[in-house]
A and B are shown apart, each in its own frame.
Chain A
């Protein structure tokens, strides 16, 4: 998708690109010399402006967190295409790491950003991505405090890769983990599933849909913050790659309990379901970027569910199943028509069928 087709491209309308003498990124922009310096001072520091970043030191020295436990998480983003309906690689790289921190029961505070850029990448697109990261970071209330830029020869990477590492402070009363899961826990999903994966597929070469399916990419720690006050949460997962099924399988295996889910209760948008039917994909295996799965003490489930539904990111939250003593380590689905089957972990990528 070229810039002219981008939905979010209008962001640069308000903030003209600070580097206009180079239309595309050169190897020299990553060499550590003058052009690198230019790139950092003009493109990276102003949007993310904060005390640590402005020091332009090799690393950031962070304030003490008054004894709260820290959590750290890292993720690399190589999505193709880099611009897709409702988002881009920039916003995704912020949401992804912020959510990994939030799933540890922590409040995300700081991010580092590593950019690997292919020589010749349009400066315009880079600026759009940076502004998108700025917006996502501001909304999430996290600060980008350190970063790194490398430029590689044409063909050595695909346009742009982004790594983000996040640091967060664990909410004091939260104890999250597979070992906390108990039989009887209710499993809540925060909204409709499979949207991100289908959104990406819808703009890949060779697959054009008539309707635009926007990614669900979003930062979820605000939602977690709203939930944690309403009840005992035992485990949290954001079902990204591998989808809901992989997240549930990992937790079933790690906790030693069985998991049962009801097909009827899985929230899924009609267009997404239609696309999955057409391509022969199971929505349980398709990626999400703005959804979480919560394992909640059964007595608190209603209160947590109500708190989620009061949050814009949890409006369509639903109880989809529960933790059981039976079939330890296995996820079993009650099908719409009354049958039952095992929901297995995915092997490799889902491959669309022949007919």
Chain B
């Protein structure tokens, strides 16, 4: 397939892997920001192909994973109101709230529907004037323009029964939180290509400078990730800390201006609570007051109890790159995709789900030996270079 197969080419991949092998002199810890990149790394086995010195830790770029539990509880409570059609991207459906998830609410009679675009939700609102249609607006800067556009159009065309429950988050403040933490071990970043497509990467210059950390804007195909990793490693080995763009076929430094304009028109920056990470100032988007008629937060008075996060889940440490999924005591035992304890086990962008699906962790629950040993052994057996 054109524009895809070129970026999954075995010979080119081998070339970059060999370049990395020749270059690295010590172990480096690199964080890929986006969950899509995490999945590509594990799905294509890049972590096995690259030498031991390259240590990937997985970033917070999984929108489903960082949506606070109280917001999921709220979403479920709204969905359970009479005459509400609650719409969401598929990813969000199985993320556990305190007592249940959206699919469970659906099985109990709530009208919960999966959509592929917020504009589809708007279409539903037009088709069901007697119902309140609510869209769960989750995501980073990537999904913000389309969500903003849906609200803008609803407002402009007077679709009063359409609203969004906004849980938008922004990447650069999260990177800063990770870097400024005393427990930080991230030495270089693969920045999320899709986010940069929208907002560009000019914001990263000061981050790279202040924290002396290389940041390479990187795509999502295996070759993108190998090349981005090589570029970060080269900077690290040479003692540089610059912003570079591996994903130049898509990303421009200033980003996509019309998309940024629609975001600014509809949303304003606000403080946001990140699941597992905590409150981060100026790290989220909420609707401007001109659009509050479409703000589900204001439209629906719902009472939700205190959100209870599982004390066993270490999602916060995983999302900050401090720990990996296999460091979690309940990974693959109590927490599986069938019975997720935390959001990263559910989302198709969650690091735990990636490790579980593509690694040999299923067996962990079947054996009583030292946790982790058997799968580590299989990991080694599967690895071709270790």
Contacts and interface: CB of A to CB of B under 8 A. Distances in A.
B98 to A, nearest CB: 20
Contact of B8 (A274, A336, A342): A336
Interface string B28-56: 00000000100000111110110000000
Nearest to B43: A341
A273 B3 CA distance: 13
A270 B140 CA distance: 30
Contact of A337 (B4, B10, B89, B348): B10
A301 interface: no
A341 B45 contact: yes
Contacts of B138: 354
B46 to A, nearest CB: 6
A42 interface: no
Interface in A273-288: 273-274, 277, 279-280
A65 interface: no
Interface string A323-338: 0001101101001111
Contact of B1 (A277, A332, A339): A277
Interface stretch (B68-76, B259-267, B305-313, B351-359): B351-359
A347 B336 CA distance: 9
Interface string A302-341: 0000000000000000000000001101101001111111
Contact residue range for chain B?
Answer: 35 or more
Contact of A351 (B44, B114, B357): B114
Contact of B42 (A327, A338, A341, A351): A341
Contacts of A340: 45, 48, 382-384
Given A206-B116, A335-B43, A338-B49, A351 B381 contact: no
The CB with the most chain B CB atoms within 10 A, among A207, A327, A338, A340, is that of A338
A352 interface: yes
A352 B90 contact: yes
A347 B116 CA distance: 21
Contacts of B115: 206
B64 to A, nearest CB: 7
Given A277-B1, A336-B8, A344-B358, A353 B44 contact: no
A353 B89 contact: yes
Contact of B48 (A279, A339, A353): A339
A347 B337 contact: yes
Interface residues of A, number: 30
A355 B13 contact: no
Contacts of A207: 116
A337 B8 contact: yes
A355 B140 contact: yes
Interface string B130-141: 000000001110
The CB with the most chain B CB atoms within 10 A, among A274, A277, A326, A353, is that of A353
B183 interface: no
A348 interface: yes
A108 to B, nearest CB: 34
Nearest to A279: B116
Given A335-B45, A335-B222, 15 more contacts: A273-B1, A277-B4, A332-B382, A337-B8, A337-B49, A337-B222, A338-B49, A338-B384, A339-B384, A341-B42, A344-B358, A345-B362, A353-B349, A354-B63, A355-B139
17 contacts: A277-B1, A326-B381, A338-B45, A338-B384, A340-B382, A340-B383, A340-B384, A341-B359, A348-B338, A351-B114, A352-B114, A353-B36, A354-B92, A354-B138, A354-B349, A355-B63, A355-B139
